[in-house]
Amino acid sequence: MEKRNLPRLAHNVISLIGAIIALSAGLVLAFFLIISLIAHKINPYLGILLYMVLPAILVAGLLLIPAGMYVRWRGLQKKGAIAYHKWPDIDLNKKGHRNAALIFMLGTTAFIVISAVGIYQAYHYTDSVAFCGLTCHTVMHPEYATYQDSPHARVECVACHIGPGAGWYARSKLSGLYQVYATIAGKYPKPIPTPIGNLRPAQETCEQCHWPSQFFGGQQRQFNYYLYDRTNTHWQINMLIKTGGGNPKTSQTSGIHWHMNIARKVEYIARDKKRQDIPWVRITDRETGKAAVYQDISRPLSQDELALAKPRIMDCMDCHNRPSHNLHSPDYAINFAILTGLIDPALPEIKQVAVNAMNKEYRSSALARDNIAGEITSFYRTRYPEVYSQKEKMINSAIQAIQTAFMKNIFPGMKAKWSDYPDNIGHFIFRGCMRCHDGNHRDSKGSVITNDCRTCHIILSQGIRERPEILNLQVGLDFRHPLDIGDAWKGGACYECHKGIQP
């Protein structure tokens, strides 16, 4: 059998180093790839090593092999060991050339296949939640922690931050290069500022799942609060939220989602980067083209400010600006903990002492954890010694719940907390809806953007849980069948007659 030797040009130090590097990187890559296939979860730093670092080393090693051959070829030409030619001779009748061609073709084929798989895996890895949330752990910790408890916890980060298509993918990765540099150099702001200026329009991301033209009707919501008194009195507000919606075919719109640019386009100008001060609003009827401009009569924009400003078309993110990274206030977090049974409201003044403990400034999360435990324990030992002796286990459970609430909503390392990130849904803590619906925005005809509460919601009941004030309309009407079937409907279920076709 004919012995296949490597080409003479391959016998050089540079090519040998390249082969050793490529072989070593390939073996390590294969080892970690097997680990990643066996493990259900992959460490983010292992992912970077597997899909980015090792492939780059492998490619560098492979490139050194032909580079070394070229250097040796040039050296032999200068010494006169081989005839000078501008381009290398390729003669497949020569055994060395055939071996080189075979190695090149097999190596190139294997490299292309492996590279295709690697690029595909790298593409998916850089789009993963682990890559977004855990690679830059310190910087992205608040975002990743709040995302895990959000309504979009099963939606990947890229679905909202990038959306479909190669164009925005490439754009996001290019902008991410500076973010990598800023992270390594420690030049990132604390906290990370919002809103994101270059975020893709919500119509191209949010509306891949949420369809504005199908948001109809109202939603009943119950809000639970606990008062800052000794007994932590439970106060409930039961509301009908007029979500509304619209159909672009009929231009029939109503409710809160009237703002979704279906029959009318809503534009505004904000004075500040956080879009909390909105002195100018323009509403354009899409059918007639007529527009009305509303200005804050107490602080209108000057002509110079108007000339420099660029109106923004309102979209989902102007109201739903914290859909996945919501940092809740201590008041909200403790209300929720009491409501869900994590904190027992039987502990006197627990609402007040818990909120006060969360609201203090701490240099680190570890220090916050220790101080919260010490403050709650000291409070009950001093103020309510009998309660402490009888309900120590209950107090310890409350301490754990308060610490968890702090860790999920306040991040001293990034100086991030609820007050740094206004939530524009509602108007309980931040201006939200009342950035425009404050009664001060008027057009040239004197029309006012309403601030009537009943425009967006109706209170059905409110008050102490045991003695609520109830709207009579909440009782509703007795059902009446459209056909005169007497009381027959009372003896059966709707589905027994209604089959989706004419009965």
Same domain assignment for residues 45 and 142: no
Residue 431 lies in a domain: no
Residue 406 is predicted with a pLDDT of: 96
Residue 130 is predicted with a pLDDT of: 79
Same domain assignment for residues 102 and 145: no
Average pLDDT, the chain: 84
Amino acid letter, residue 317 = M
Kindly tell me if the per-residue pLDDT of 289 is higher than 70: yes
Residue 316 lies in a domain: no
Overall domain count for the chain: 3
Residue 213 is predicted with a pLDDT of: 67
Domain holding 159, by residue range, is 131-188
Same domain assignment for residues 96 and 80: yes
For a pLDDT cut of 90, what percent of the chain falls above it? 36
| Phi, psi (degrees; rounded to nearest 5) at 380 | -75, -30
**Reported pTM:** 0.77
Task: Tell me the sheet residues that pair with 294.
Answer: 281
**C-alpha–C-alpha distance, residues 231 and 370, integer Å:** 26
Residue 365 is predicted with a pLDDT of: 94
Residue 301 is predicted with a pLDDT of: 93
Q: Which residue has the tokens 């509703």?
A: 476
Pick from 311, 319, 199: nearest CA to 259 = 319
- pLDDT band with cut points at 50, 70 and 90 for residue 451: confident
Same domain assignment for residues 45 and 137: no
Same domain assignment for residues 19 and 114: yes
Task: Tell me the sheet residues that pair with 237.
Answer: 223, 462
Residue 148 lies in a domain: yes
Same domain assignment for residues 120 and 153: no
Residue 59 lies in a domain: yes
Which tens digits make up the pLDDT trace of 390-406?
999 999 999 999 999 99
Crossing angle (nearest 10°) for helices 392-409 and 350-359: 40
- pLDDT band with cut points at 50, 70 and 90 for residue 377: very high
Same domain assignment for residues 64 and 138: no
Same domain assignment for residues 16 and 106: yes
Same domain assignment for residues 107 and 147: no
Which of 166, 188, 210 is the endpoint of a domain?
188
Residue 122 lies in a domain: yes
Mean pLDDT of 297-324: 91
Which of 188, 212, 233 is the endpoint of a domain?
188
Same domain assignment for residues 104 and 137: no
Residue 357 lies in a domain: yes
**C-alpha–C-alpha distance, residues 335 and 64, integer Å:** 64
Pairing of strands 467-470, 457-464: antiparallel
Kindly tell me if the per-residue pLDDT of 2 is higher than 60: no
Same domain assignment for residues 101 and 165: no
Which tens digits make up the pLDDT trace of 130-174?
778 877 777 888 999 999 888 898 888 888 888 777 777 777 777
Which of 361, 385, 409 is the endpoint of a domain?
409
Residue 273 lies in a domain: no
- pLDDT band with cut points at 50, 70 and 90 for residue 1: very low
Same domain assignment for residues 67 and 15: yes
Which range (156-170, 320-334, 423-437) has the least confidence? Answer: 156-170
